[in-house]
Amino acid sequence: MTTDTLLERITDYANRPNPYPLYAELREAGAVRQTDGSYLVGTYADIVALFHDPRISSDRRNLAASYSGLAEQLQQIPFIQRDDPEHHRLRSLAMRPFGPPHSPGRIDAMRGEIARITEELIEAWHGRTRIDIVDDFAYPLPVTVICRLLGVPHQDEPTFRKWSAMIIDSVDIKPGEDPTERQRVGDQARTEMGSYLVDLAEQRRGRPSDDMLAAFVNDTDPAGRLTREELATTAVLLLVAGHETTVNLITNGVLTLLRHPDQLDRLRQHPDLLPNAVEELLRYEPPVHFLTRAPLADVDVAGTTIPKGTPLVLATASANRDPQRFRDPDRFDPTRPDNQHLGFGSGIHSCYGAPLARIEAHIALGALLPHLSTATMLQDPPPYRRSAMLRGPRHLPLEP
Amino acid sequence: MSGDLRKGRIVIVGASVAGLRAAETLRDEGFTGSLTVVGEEPYPPYDRPPLSKQVLLGRVAADATGLPMRRDPHAQWRLGVRATGLDPLGKRVLLADGQWLAYDRLLIATGTRARSWPDAEQAALDGVFTLRTCEDARCLAERLAAGPCRVLVIGGGFTGSEIASVCRERGVEVTVTERGAAPLVGALGGTLSKFAASLQRAHGVDLRCGVTVTALRGNGRFTGAEFSDGSRIEADVCVVALGAVRNVEWLADSGLAACAQGIACDAGCRAFDRYGIVTDDVFVAGDVARFPHPLFDYQMLSLEHWGNAVAQAQVAAHNMVSPGPLRRPHRAVPVFWSSQFGCNIKSVGVPTFSDQVVIAQGSLSDRRLVAVYGYRGRITAAVTINMAKWLEHYQGLIETAAPFPPGPGAADACPLVAEFPVPSNVPDPKGLFHGPTVALTGHLPDQRLAVARLAG
């Protein structure tokens, strides 16, 4: 098959259970123009170079008109889709109640709470003959955590779950399909979710509590204020990203451990390997498979000149399996040294929520270890979510 | 051959970061012989960068910066004893306690010490400090915590500037004297040094540039100083931050190419003797090494950088246990960082190896920027202020000798500014009191041969 259909084949739902042979083909091919005009890049060295290249924009409005779709008209542009200095300003403001330098211990302090939520979820399996790791564990855990962290009522989950699905769909890569309608639906969902979250935040104005929405509206530092629109966009980003990715990390983790019983045993005997094992999962089965970028100038990648304004699709999951960077890349090795994976990206946009995701994954997988050795997977490969970008099982049924 | 190299006796002189990383690497590479590490200080290897930052701020105790060991190097540690001589023919190191240590291969990683105030009597005044060891840091931190009225910092290099920053963060009045036109001028050149000066003044530092200290005053206790412009100052603490002196004196009679700028070695970390003949059993790593670098016209480079100490120690250790064809060159691009006055400053390449500089990203007014340095039309260095995540890109440009100035298109480039390089105004290092932490030192292995009559 020709390499200009690689993106179509990778995003084809039929290949969701195992896109990795296609990534190997992609790494051989270099930077290749796809039938939809975009360029697909899959080697570690090329992707890392592009992540650190100041001429590579994260803002879709910098795509040539034929590719940008509705980007010019979109109202809600989160910092993940902006460039410095705006990106830096907004991300720093969002970081104030979340991490260093203003809130260095905030996420670490949630360990106890995350462990309690984890135990409650596992206890609820008692007496059941069949459980779904996704619906009964990997989805509710990060959702409950991000709700408590942001200050969103957990009972509203059915409402924001719908918005979240529309937003995720709007950023997915579907070559050959006009994105206009998906973008319109996604923007609408962002607007509705934004006003819902701003309303929640406004109820806390003048009444500080320990959640992030309250922190955003009660920040006394004049440099620390988000405008209403910025608050809406940022809160939507945190709520969506806070659970749509971690669910994949945990489920992919369980699936990988069940497929590698020797490594599962090893982790049971040496739980101190867990932090390393989570890094290896982020390399081996990352929750996010692609990121998109827009070059602001003609850029050379692997000997190909990519014209300014042409969409760049960076297959970070392919870079994670690049044999030029990782020895024996298709082997799951929880003790792998020098594991600088791209599971959280790299450069200025490297994952904001990474510390939280790591802690959630450590605690979740640590608590599951004793249960997994006796569990039986009922379907392998399991059914996958539609998204090629946020790749992970939709269900993972087990007999506990 | 390679079997033999993994056995025998290896002595490492120097028990700081280069010595430790070399010891670990030797074992990683399968060295099973006897390993002895000699250290002048009585402490196990510890990390120095925090001493002028977290330790002076009182956030970390001076004895809490011990370097984690990645593995037990199974070494005999001879701590608290100095090496005083080397007999390269007899293959043995003389220690201050009179003992001789025999070796088959030797690694010299003796590093540097703080340059002391030239007048010994004035330097002995209570309240006069230098900062290099954890003991220095402990004493100075105690004095800063006691709330002195004013601290005088002599020298506006990285260490001096970091100390001044700590003083201001602690609410202590501080005066900085710098012989050059502005702080950090020796390391970053004239353009960014103006930024450093305005940064210091904005944080309330009493900065005196183009001035030297002519005398320290006091009667037992330090009370103040006199300046070359005729003015005086009252202060109760003085930190002499006049740069580093390489610990090479013990090699004076060794026949090695050891001079004030370090011990010359080849790209594989093997020491040269004074005639420029390379040895095969004496290796050098860390601050005390001078090594040729392909990116800088093969001039001998002297660095005082943590990252270089680690990288060079690993190469040296690998080469000590590997036969010729398997040896590796040390050609890492120099990288260093500093934190001061709320700014993270990070550098890659050699900023002083430049004739022009351009602000390629960000802006001075935001205190977030990338300054890119060029020499004769190619990129040789980049310095970031609070934008370290971009550094990797510029490292790639330096390694590939990409054209200067960098091409247009950076998302956060300041219009116009990014298109106009200006002279980098790198001063002649001879005019600086404290040497820059990175210096190009010519092509000759032994400077004494070139300047044989210039004593001292």
Question: How high is the ipTM of this complex?
Answer: 0.85
State the pLDDT at residue A353.
96
For residue range B87-109, what is the model confidence (pLDDT) as tens digits?
999 999 999 999 999 999 999 99
Residues B409, A297: C-beta atoms closer than 8 Å: yes
pLDDT of residue B14: 98
Give the nearest partner residue to A54 out of B366, B368, B412, using CB atoms: B412
Identify all chain B residues contacting A347, using CB atoms and an 8 Å cutoff: 389-390, 392
pLDDT at position A69 is: 73
Q: Is the distance from CB of A94 to CB of A215 less than 8 angstroms?
A: no
- For residues A52-62, average pLDDT: 95
CA distance B412 to A296: 11
On whether any CB of chain A is under 8 Å from the CB of B367, the answer is: no
Q: Distance between CA atoms of B102 and B116, rounded to whole angstroms?
A: 33
Indicate the pLDDT class of residue A23, thresholds 50, 70 and 90.
very high
The answer on pLDDT for B344 being more than 80 is yes
3-state secondary structure of B97: coil
Model confidence at B454, pLDDT cuts 50, 70, 90, reads very low
Q: A369-394, pLDDT tens digit by residue?
A: 999 989 999 999 999 999 999 999 99
Inter-residue contact B389 to A347 (CB < 8 Å): yes
pLDDT surpasses 60 at B49: yes
Averaged pLDDT for residues B357-367: 93
Q: What is the pLDDT confidence band of residue B294, given thresholds at 50, 70 and 90?
A: confident
Phi-psi domain of B72 (left: phi exceeds 0; alpha: psi -120 through 50; beta: other): beta
Average confidence (pLDDT) over B250-262: 93
Residue that the structure tokens 């003949």 belong to: B277
B174/A276 Cα distance (integer angstroms)? 46
CB contact under 8 Å between B411 and A347, yes or no, is no
Q: Do A49 and B366 touch (CB under 8 A)?
A: no
Nearest CA in chain A to B390: A52
Rounded to the nearest angstrom, the gap between the alpha carbon of residue B295 and the centroid of all alpha carbons in its chain is 19
pLDDT in tens, A232-269: 999 999 999 988 899 999 999 999 999 999 999 999 99
In angstroms, the separation between the Cα of residue A307 and the nearest Cα of chain B is 12
- Per-residue DSSP letters for B349-418? E-TTS-SEEEEEEEETTTTEEEEEEEETTEEEEEEEES-GGGHHHHHHHHHTT-BSSPPS--TTPPTTGG
Whether B396 contacts chain A with CB within 8 A: yes
Q: Read off the pLDDT of each residue in B19-44 and give the average, rounded to a whole number.
A: 97
Give the pLDDT confidence score for residue B456 in this predicted structure. 37
Helix and strand element counts for chain A (H, E): 17, 10
Does B397 have pLDDT greater than 70? yes
- For residue B211, give the nearest of B164, B178, B174, B176 by alpha carbon: B178
Q: How far is CA A268 from the centre of its chain?
A: 27
Cα A359 from Cα B409, distance rounded (Å):
38
> What pLDDT, on a 0 to 100 scale, did the predictor assign at position A2?
82
Pick from B360, B366, B370: CB nearest A85: B366
For tokens 């001076």, what's the residue?
A: B62
pLDDT given for residue A4 in this prediction: 86
What proportions of chain A, in percent to the nearest 5, are helix, strand and coil? 55, 10, 40
Q: What is the rounded average pLDDT of the residues B188-204?
A: 94
Round to whole Å and give the CA distance between B241 and B234. 18
Contact (CB<8Å) A54/B361: yes
The model's confidence at residue A329, banded by pLDDT at 50, 70 and 90, is: very high
pLDDT higher at A56 or A220: A56
Going by C-alpha positions, the residue among B232, B230, B287, B291 that lies closest to residue B266 is B291
Residue closest to A303 by CA, chosen among A56, A29, A51, A5 = A29
Query: In Å, how far is B368's CA from the nearest CA of chain A?
Result: 9
Question: Mean pLDDT over residues B257-277, rounded?
Answer: 94
**How confident is the model at residue A366, as a pLDDT?**
97
Per-residue pLDDT band at A286 (split at 50, 70, 90): very high
Average pLDDT in chain A: 94
A9 token code pair: 């084949």
Compute the count of residue pairs across chains A and B with CB atoms less than 8 Å apart: 54
For residues B258 and B418, the model is more confident at B258
Tell whether the model's pLDDT for residue B1 goes beyond 70: no
B-chain CB neighbours of A57 within 8 Å are 411
Whether pLDDT at A362 is above 80: yes
Is residue B452's pLDDT more than 70? no
What value does the mean pLDDT take over residues A23-39?
93
Nearest to A54 among B366, B368, B411 (CB): B411
Confidence of residue B432 (pLDDT cuts 50, 70, 90): low
Instruction: Give the per-residue pLDDT at B451.
Output: 42
Which of B88-92, B418-422, B446-450 has the lowest average pLDDT?
B446-450
| B390 contact residues in A (CB cutoff 8 A) | 52, 54, 347-348
Would the CA dihedral through A25, A26, A28, A34 be positive or negative? positive
Task: Tell me if A23 sits within 8 A of A324, measured CB to CB.
Answer: no
pLDDT of residue B448: 52
Average pLDDT over residues A2-26: 94
- What does pLDDT average to over chain B? 92
Residues in chain A with CB shorter than 8 Å from the CB of B393 are 49, 52-54
For residue B243 the two structure tokens come to: 């740069």
